Every structure is written in structure tokens, then in C-alpha cells.
Amino acid sequence: MTFEEAKTVLGTDGITCIVLKEGNDPLISRVRGVKPIVGWIEEGADLKDAAVFDTIVGRAAAMMYILAGVGSVYGRVMSRGGAAELEKAGIAYEAGAFTDRIVNRQGTGMCPMEETVLEITDPKEAFSALKAKIAALQSARPAV
């Protein structure tokens, strides 16, 4: 898959995130939010210097990409805070559109993942905080 193909298929068929790394099969996720990147980091996936294509990139996702050592990030929508984090880390980035903040899925306030890292500057600390937040949100959901 080429970079242009990744940009084109992002968002189609439920695809939320694609990671391309030379010599490896693409990683493709249909899971929303930061869960894919947090999971890949937790699993020890080699993302160093990879190209990432994500539907939404806020500070939380940007900090995970920094921790993973990716080489570039494309966000269909990217927060200015996420872009600033990537820029500070020297990671190339591009966005279809920029926004001031990432909102929650109900559109009623800030994304809970963004809220979780609001005062955090260290990607390792952000990783731990995001894992805990994801676990808390999953345990709070009613069983179906």
C-alpha cells in the first residue's frame, strides 16, 4: 500500500488507522480513538520510523506516536495541540483539516483522552494515563 492509497482508504470500510512500515505488512485498525496505537505500543509493535494515517489526531494520539517513534503522521483531522507536539518532537505531519480541540463522541465537550493528557508532557506518563482511562471507560460500560 502506498501513502496515497492509505490516505484514500482511510475512513472507508470503517478503517480508522493505518501504519505503513517498509518491509512489514500494513497495520490496519477499525477501532476508534487512541486504542489502536495504545494497543500496538503495549504489544511491542515496531513502529519506529513508520508512516501513520489516522482519522483524528489530537495531543493524546500525537504523544503515543512520539512514544512509538514514528516517522510521519497524517491526520484527516488534527488538533493544533497534536500538531505542536509532533513538531516539537521533529515528526513530519500533515492534516486534511486542523481544529482547535478534539471533542467527545457526543459532541458535548472535550474528548476524554484529550482531557486525560491535558496536563501531561511526558509521552510515557501519557501512555500510562491513557491505558488507565481506557480501562476505566471499558469497565464503566454496561454489558450487552
- Average pLDDT over the chain reads 92
Architecture of domain 3-137: 3-Layer(aba) Sandwich (3.40)
Q: How far apart, in Å, are the Cα atoms of 40 and each of 28, 65, 84, 118?
A: 11, 11, 23, 22
pLDDT more than 90, % of the chain: 73
Model pLDDT, residue 90: 97
Q: How confident is the model at residue 142 (pLDDT cuts 50, 70, 90)?
A: low
pLDDT grade for 2, boundaries at 50, 70 and 90: confident
Q: Which pLDDT band, with edges at 50, 70 and 90, does 143 fall under? A: low
Q: Domains of the chain: which residue ranges?
A: 3-137
**How is residue 110 written as a grid cell?**
472535550
Degrees (nearest 5) of the Cα angle 118, 82, 64?
A: 80
Give the separation between CA 77 and CA 17, rounded to whole angstroms: 12
pLDDT at 42: 94
pLDDT at 11 over 90: no
Helix (H) or strand (E) holding 133: helix 123-140
Q: Name the band, by pLDDT with cuts 50, 70 and 90, for residue 144.
A: low
